[in-house]
């Protein structure tokens, strides 16, 4: 057990609550108070300050770093302004935090008290404070939500980033129209009602280098037809304030029925008329019900079928203008955890590439046979490993039940019980991850694929291919036989394609 006489190294953890007011002012006061305690005691310290705080532990990077350091026994104690700053509302997150402090034998020190979780009284106090923190969080979230609802009913903007061409006025809590963005928005709408399609408008905006509504990764590839469609049908542009279209219920994203929305006339300036809005909806409906040849041409070739060999992610297919005409190309835009981009080199989807794809699909070579055999073996192995992991999970759950019985019969101490329970629970987490991994492999495997079946499908594919006239029809033919195509381009520019048949 730790005590104040042997404390040498401490961690200072800082996190702001939703109700604390100004972020910098509150955090600086907490920091000064805790640093003063560490200096007065002669303790060496390191600060962990949560800049991007979230309700769940997975979103709190500094707390994750701190828990890892506690596992490595780097600190004798953690200094915090109050116990409730260590966590928020999730019981399982509190469980992880508590178990880490227990197994590392780390003290929790606040300006008023010192807590040793191996002490039953301190343990009960900790549990009570975590329950209180959960209750307070619910109340804070309820007040926050009621405040947003009340503001929306008064015509104020409460939904985060406003849609283009509006900007948020923090003083009035309302939306103002940005003059230059308004000019672009009106041109977009006029072009659409004047005969341009969504993709042509996106190309025009990108060619003119018009900044996208949002910066960063969200719009790093420029304007898209999907984004323009959302802008054109947005009823905020009619002068309405709309709140409650979606919600997060117990970690699940839900779309709310339209009759449950809060929809009121706002105080901001409309940027389109009701007649223009109805004309946009009518044209979108007409294009949906009556697909024309131009829409079929604008479909991306090999859409959703090309995957990168280097990172395993789906390749992006983009249309751009070159020498006065539109051309298609493929590229990998995956961003790694360290912020670097995938090293895969893209390629133009020209006639030479399309011919290579066709030949690769219609020729069953030794590599294709090997791929089919590998898929079958992979499926069999995944099923065997899944059964093994399910058996292991069952045994671990029974071990926990047995451990509880031993503790109730006082055959093991509280410390032994806690340490063994944590070990079993950590094993369960790993086992469940493995089970999920093998379930995904099985779900994604193409059971029953044989060379004979592929040969039969290739014959049908050739027959259909001869009748295709556009990308939409060719993609449908591809999907009738191909599950995915692995793409790799070497330093010499040579492209290697590996086909996975259905």
Q: How far is CA 450 from CA 357, 376, 380, 497, in A?
A: 21, 9, 15, 20
Per-residue pLDDT tens over the stretch 164-177: 999 888 887 788 99
The CATH class of 166-290 is alpha beta
Confidence class of residue 2 from pLDDT cuts 50, 70 and 90? very low
Q: What is the pLDDT of residue 148?
A: 67
Q: Which one has a higher pLDDT value, 218 or 203?
A: 203
User: Quick one: which of 247, 251, 277, 269 has its CA closest to 260?
Assistant: 247
In terms of DSSP H, where are the helices of 42-80? 61-71
Tell me the CATH number for domain 380-446.
Answer: 1.10.287
Is domain 4-148 given the CATH code 3.40.50.1390 in the classification? yes
- pLDDT score at 291: 46
Mean pLDDT, the chain, whole residue set: 80
| Gap between the Cα atoms of 111 and 232, Å rounded | 55
Quick: pLDDT tens for 12-32. 998 865 544 444 567 788 888
Q: For 437, how many CA atoms within 13 A lie in the half-sphere containing its CB?
A: 12
**pLDDT more than 90, % of the chain:** 14
**Which span out of 315-324, 394-403, 406-415 was modeled with the highest average pLDDT?**
394-403
Angle CA(357)–CA(363)–CA(365) in degrees, nearest 5?
115
Beta pairing class for 325-331 and 347-348: antiparallel
493 pLDDT exceeds 90? no
Contact 75, 11 (CB under 8 A): yes
Q: pLDDT at position 173, please?
A: 75
Q: Is the confidence at residue 147, as pLDDT, over 90?
A: no
Binning pLDDT at 50, 70 and 90, where does residue 383 land? confident
Residue 475 confidence class, pLDDT cut points 50, 70, 90: confident
Report CA 344 to chain centroid distance, whole Å. 23
72, 4 contact by CB (below 8 A):
no
pLDDT confidence of 1, banded at 50, 70, 90?
very low
% residues pLDDT > 70 (the chain): 77
pLDDT above 60 (res 278)? yes
Domain ranges of the chain: 4-148, 166-290, 306-365+454-501, 380-446
pLDDT of residue 109: 93
Region class of 434: left (phi > 0), else alpha (psi between -120 and 50), else beta: alpha
pLDDT tops 90 at residue 458: no
pLDDT confidence tier of residue 369, bands split at 50, 70 and 90:
low
Calpha distance 99→115 (Å, rounded) = 14
Per-residue confidence (pLDDT) for residue 433, from 0 to 100: 83
C-alpha angle with apex 395: 390 to 397, nearest 5 degrees?
Answer: 95
Question: Would you say residue 432 has pLDDT above 50?
Answer: yes
What pLDDT is recorded for position 370?
Answer: 60
Structure tokens belonging to residue 141: 């979230």
**Confidence class for position 10, pLDDT limits 50, 70, 90:** very high
The residue that leads in pLDDT, 53 or 115, is: 115
The structure tokens 């209750």 sit at 135
Three-state secondary structure readout of 324-337: CEEEEEEECCCECC
DSSP letter at 448? Answer: T
Q: At 499, phi and psi to the nearest 5?
A: -100, 135
State residue 13's pLDDT score.
93
């Amino acid at each position: 057990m730790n005590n104040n006489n042997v404390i040498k190294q401490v961690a200072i953890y800082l996190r702001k609550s939703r109700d604390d007011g100004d972020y910098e002012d509150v955090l600086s006061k907490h920091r000064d108070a805790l640093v003063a305690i560490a200096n007065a005691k002669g303790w060496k310290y390191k600060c962990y300050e949560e800049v991007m705080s979230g309700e769940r532990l997975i979103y709190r990077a500094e707390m994750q770093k701190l828990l890892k350091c506690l596992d490595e026994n780097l600190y004798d104690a953690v200094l915090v302004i109050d116990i409730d700053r260590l966590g928020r509302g999730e019981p399982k997150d509190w469980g992880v935090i508590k178990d880490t402090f227990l197994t590392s034998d780390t003290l929790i020190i606040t300006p008023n008290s010192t807590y040793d979780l191996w002490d039953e009284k301190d343990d009960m106090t900790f549990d009570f404070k975590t329950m209180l923190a959960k209750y307070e969080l619910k109340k804070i979230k309820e007040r926050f939500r009621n405040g947003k609802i009340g503001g929306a009913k008064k015509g104020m903007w409460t939904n985060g980033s406003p849609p283009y061409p509006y900007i948020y006025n923090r003083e009035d809590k309302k939306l103002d129209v940005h003059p230059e963005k308004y000019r672009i928005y009106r041109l977009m709408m006029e072009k659409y009602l004047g005969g341009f399609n969504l993709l042509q408008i996106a190309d025009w905006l990108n060619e003119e280098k018009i900044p996208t509504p949002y910066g960063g990764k969200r719009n790093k590839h420029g304007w898209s037809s999907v984004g323009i469609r959302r802008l054109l049908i947005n009823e905020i542009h009619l002068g309405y304030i709309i709140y409650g279209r979606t919600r997060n219920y117990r970690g699940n994203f839900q779309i709310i029925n339209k009759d449950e929305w809060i929809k009121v006339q706002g105080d901001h300036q409309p940027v389109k008329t009701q007649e223009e809005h109805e004309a946009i909806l009518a044209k979108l409906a007409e294009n949906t019900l009556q697909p024309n040849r131009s829409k079929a041409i604008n479909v991306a070739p090999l859409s959703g079928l090309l995957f990168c060999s280097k990172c395993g992610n789906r390749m992006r297919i983009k249309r751009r203008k070159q020498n006065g005409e539109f051309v298609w190309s493929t590229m990998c835009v995956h961003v790694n955890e360290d912020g670097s981009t995938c090293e895969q080199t893209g390629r133009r989807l020209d006639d030479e590439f399309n011919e290579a794809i066709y030949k690769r699909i219609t020729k069953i070579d030794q590599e294709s046979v090997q791929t089919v055999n590998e898929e079958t073996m992979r499926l069999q192995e995944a099923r065997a490993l899944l059964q093994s992991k399910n058996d292991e999970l069952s045994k671990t759950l029974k071990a926990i039940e047995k451990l509880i019985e031993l503790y109730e019969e006082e055959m093991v101490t509280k410390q032994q019980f806690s340490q063994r329970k944590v070990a079993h629970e950590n094993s369960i987490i790993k086992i469940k991850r493995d089970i999920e991994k093998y379930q995904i492999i099985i779900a994604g495997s193409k059971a029953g694929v044989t060379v004979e079946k592929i040969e039969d499908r290739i014959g049908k594919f050739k027959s259909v291919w001869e009748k295709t006239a556009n990308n939409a029809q060719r993609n449908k033919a591809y999907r009738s036989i191909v599950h995915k195509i692995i793409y790799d381009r070497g330093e010499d520019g040579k492209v290697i394609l590996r086909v996975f048949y259905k």
